[in-house]
Structure 1
């Protein structure tokens, strides 16, 4: 029975979760919050949902780019290069982004009589993104169940695994990861140098997947 909503960005993690849980998902939601790479990701999210016969919505959150401070919202040149373990990558945090998106998705779930909201955060996010950490997921799940008549739950099945382990799941599902987008700079090709590009390369290598992503020279 399809009783779930998924927050689907068009990146490796959420597209893997989309296919992993496709038999449970009634609706896919993408959020356009004005990041450099939204224009690359969201069409892919819509394409995959349509391929699976899952309804898809894009919800604009343009206020975030006006009032929130993050290099992710300040243009491609503001995006730092390097590994996620480096301190400069903290500039890419969009404050409470997942909290805002999950709150909206929870409200939509209750409006449609759906019981679950799925999100694809993973263990590699924990270092710099507070609203990807297990304690946050636990807290917002409790808040969702307490604050809705139908006791909507938030489920994040990849919270305790790495992006590489997610890629292993995708390999078993026979996913083509060239049909996903990672780069925070949002250019014509993946830059290959920002934190998400490096993480993408490492994940595909971990899963022994041939990386055919077009990268800039």
Structure 2
């Protein structure tokens, strides 16, 4: 199946690109610059496209991102530290981000004769990000069928939507994903900070998967403290 992958350059989407390349016909990677402070993730998407020998489409969404105010990913708001928790990680929501990106992805897929758009939304994001939940992905695919009716038949491929990030690490490892060549940290510094929610989640995922984490963190042990605080210990 000819499949386009929405690829941020993060662990999840780069793993998905490698899996699709092995199991389907990977046609292209599509990434978005929406003014995120961790824009360096896009360099890892470019590298993934080169490694997998497919075209890379970088969509400039900065004017749109500038209008989607209120997120720590795009505004001058501190990215919260600690494990994902609703009261803090709501600051990292960019409203309708996935809906906008997927809409563009479906347009590109339809224009190029691709049969599917793959995105790496996963179960760990459900309680924070509404556009990562199964209800959203199912409704979105239904909407796109109506939008492209009579022009193209493009499916939405979400293999991780009911799975954990540890599951993604295991699957990515089976398909030789070079995890060191992915970027997760929302702060976008020289190294992964080790303290923000996505760094803690990344470190925990490798631990739960039983796979060595090649990531260099500025604070490599903070995740243990963050998990203990979450559990109230």
- Distance (whole Å) between structure 1 residues aligned to residue 209 and residue 178 of structure 2: 13
Q: Where does residue 144 of structure 2 map in the other structure?
A: 144
Provide closer, same or farther for how the CA distance between residues 190 and 137 of structure 1 changes in structure 2, counting only shifts above 3 A. same
Runs of 4+, deviation exceeding 3 Å: none
- Distance (whole Å) between structure 1 residues aligned to residue 42 and residue 142 of structure 2: 29
- Distance (whole Å) between structure 2 residues aligned to residue 174 and residue 108 of structure 1: 27
Q: Where does residue 131 of structure 1 map in the other structure?
A: 131
Given the two structures, how large is their TM-score scaled by the length of structure 2? 0.88
Q: CA deviation at 1:5?
A: 1.0
Deviations 1:158-213 (A, max 9, x none): 10000001001112123221110010000111110000000000111111122231
Q: Where does residue 25 of structure 2 map in the other structure?
A: 24
Q: CA deviation at 1:215?
A: 1.1
Q: CA deviation at 1:28?
A: 0.6
Gaps of 5+ in 1: none
Q: Secondary structure of 1:143's partner?
A: helix
Q: Secondary structure of 2:35's partner?
A: coil
Q: Where does residue 68 of structure 1 map in the other structure?
A: 68
Deviations 1:10-49 (A, max 9, x none): 10100111010114211110000011112x2111111111
- Distance (whole Å) between structure 1 residues aligned to residue 93 and residue 166 of structure 2: 21
Q: Where does residue 173 of structure 1 map in the other structure?
A: 175
Query: Given that residues 141 and 155 in structure 1 are in contact (C-alpha distance below 8 angstroms), is that contact kept between their aligned partners in structure 2?
Result: no
Q: Secondary structure of 2:217's partner?
A: coil
- Distance (whole Å) between structure 1 residues aligned to residue 177 and residue 208 of structure 2: 15
- Distance (whole Å) between structure 2 residues aligned to residue 176 and residue 151 of structure 1: 32
- Distance (whole Å) between structure 1 residues aligned to residue 95 and residue 86 of structure 2: 19
Query: Given that residues 86 and 128 in structure 2 are in contact (C-alpha distance below 8 angstroms), is that contact kept between their aligned partners in structure 1?
Result: no
- Distance (whole Å) between structure 2 residues aligned to residue 182 and residue 162 of structure 1: 16
Q: Where does residue 185 of structure 1 map in the other structure?
A: 187
115-124 vs 143-152, greater mean Cα deviation = 143-152
Given the two structures, how large is their TM-score scaled by the length of structure 1? 0.95
Q: Where does residue 100 of structure 1 map in the other structure?
A: 100
Q: CA deviation at 1:86?
A: 4.4
Query: Given that residues 167 and 204 in structure 1 are in contact (C-alpha distance below 8 angstroms), is that contact kept between their aligned partners in structure 2?
Result: yes
Query: Given that residues 11 and 182 in structure 2 are in contact (C-alpha distance below 8 angstroms), is that contact kept between their aligned partners in structure 1?
Result: yes
Q: Where does residue 120 of structure 1 map in the other structure?
A: 120
Query: Given that residues 12 and 165 in structure 2 are in contact (C-alpha distance below 8 angstroms), is that contact kept between their aligned partners in structure 1?
Result: yes
1:26-41 to 2 correspondences below 5 Å: 26-38=27-39, 40-41=40-41
